[in-house]
Every structure is written in structure tokens, then in C-alpha cells.
Amino acid sequence: MTPHDLADEVSTLFSLPDLVIRACAVMDSPTATAQDLVEVVELDTNLAATVLRLANSALYAGRGRIDTLSRAVVLIGHNALRDLVLATSAVTSFQGIPKEFVDMDSFWENSTTCAVIARLIAGRGRLREGESLFLSGLMHGIGRLVFYVRRPDDYREVLELSRATELSLSESEARVFGFNYAELGAALLERWGLPERLYMPVRHQLVPLSAPDFTRETAILHLATEMTCDIAPCFKTACESEPYVPDPTAIPCMQLLGLTPAAMTEISLDAMAASLEVLEIIRPTTSVTY
């Protein structure tokens, strides 16, 4: 079995709604105007409200009050809006995950924090198409949800192997399945028709400097996932975020991107301020304790 084989099992089960497909087609068209996008977004009142709330969130702070959908579309931009449409759809697609594997509120808190950090790092580096990293960050762990849904018994073996040895979860996944959650998540995003700039960083997030392409994007995603693990407990306990201490894999990523530990700590603080707000926007049913 390959990652694509397992992704095929869920790519139709968790397919993207017709509206999302239509919106992405419009947004991918080189001749599409802002008004074309507005007309598609207006077809879904929940999506329209989400776009307006995002435009007025901390991610776009300092732009003034955005009170019309057309201004919000122009502010957010075609690529970022496409990512938002896909993100909100993906967040609501996975339902009924066994609680023994994951608390879905915590999963999306973690994923949203990673998305916000990835976008903030990309903004610091003035990375072209950097806003697309928001979706890569949000979807970085989606492969685990596929494992939980389609292979729950085998994943119990993964958990037992990890507990009984010093292997990480991703290493245990590779032992049991022959591939890990990052490879599986990338395969699903590819099956959904997302561009390489989104799924390649997800595929190589654990070994970022081995990525054949999109090395900077992959380095950003790796840093975002590591930083998220450091600050995630602070949401539940109201504790102070510790200064970021890079692991051995993160150091060359920071060097590649020209980032200092002080800059990473600043990004962590900014992310904590923005993540809860963004999570409430894209998954308003989430109950967050802080």
C-alpha cells in the first residue's frame, strides 16, 4: 500500500463541495476579477461571513474597518482567498474521529496555530506566494486523520509501538504502514488537486532540507510545526510562552530563511495573539479554554 492508495480511499469520502470547486476554478482563472470572486463567495452566506471576519482579524490588522465583501476580497487577495475557501471546507470535512486517537478541538487549535505561524514567518521573509503557507500549515497533520478514519486498528499498533520503544509517532507509522502522516497528508492534498506549492512542504515537513523543490516553504512549515508544539500548552494553561529554542533540524532552516531566535520568539507571541481569533473564524464551534 502506498500513501496515494490510502488517500484514494478518502478523497471521495471527504470530497470538496461543488461550491468550493467552483470558487477555486474562478480564483485560478487568470481573467477572474474581484467581482467574479465576490459573486461566488456570496452564494454561501457562511463563507461570506468568514471572509469578512478574516479581513477584520488580527492577521490583517491596521487596514481599517472592512465592511464590504468586495473590499475584503481585494484585501485578502486571490490566492489567500482560495486557501481560505479550501481550509474552511477541509476543517468541516472530517467528522466522527474516534476520541481515543485525538481531541478534534485540540487538533484544530494546533493546526490553526501552525498555519498562523507559517504565514507570519513567510511575511517576515517577504516570500512570494507566502500566504499559501497558511493552508499548508492548517493541513500539515491531516494525514493522521486519514489514518484514524481508515486504519484505526493498525494505528493502535502504531501507538503501542511508540509507547514501547523510543520511536516517534512518525517513525512508528513508517514501521507499520511503510510511510508516515506527512506523506499521506500530501497525497490527499494532491488528490484534491491542490498545487505543488501547498502539498510539497507538507510531504517533506519532517526533513525539510531534503525537499527537491520549495525548500524555503518547507523550511517555514517545519519551523511552524516545531514552534506550535512549544506554545500549544499555553492556550490551555494561560502560562507564559517560553523563548523559542530551535532543535538541530530547525537551525539550518532558520539560517536558510535569515531568522534569529529573537525573531522566532516575536513570531510566537504574535501567533498567540492571532491564533485563537482565526480558529474561531474558520471553526466557530470549537470550544477553547484559555
pLDDT digits (tens, 9 = 90+) for 279-290: 777 666 554 443
Mean pLDDT of all residues belonging to the chain: 82
Look at residues 207, 206, 188 and name the one whose alpha carbon lies nearest to residue 198. Answer: 188
> How deeply is 35 buried, as exposed, middle or buried, from its count of CB atoms within 10 A (0-12, 13-18, 19+)?
exposed
Average pLDDT over residues 231-237: 51
State residue 130's pLDDT score. 63
Half-sphere exposure in the Cβ direction for 101 (13 Å, CA): 21
Most confident of 38-52, 206-220, 241-255, 259-273: 206-220
Q: What angle do CA 213, 216, 222 make, to 5 degrees?
A: 105
pTM of the model: 0.82
Distance CA 289, CA 240 (A): 15
| CA 66 to chain CA mean position, Å | 25
Name the residue with cell 507538507.
202
Look at residues 118, 125, 37, 22 and name the one whose alpha carbon lies nearest to residue 81. Answer: 37
Query: Residue 151's pLDDT band (boundaries 50, 70, 90)?
Result: very high
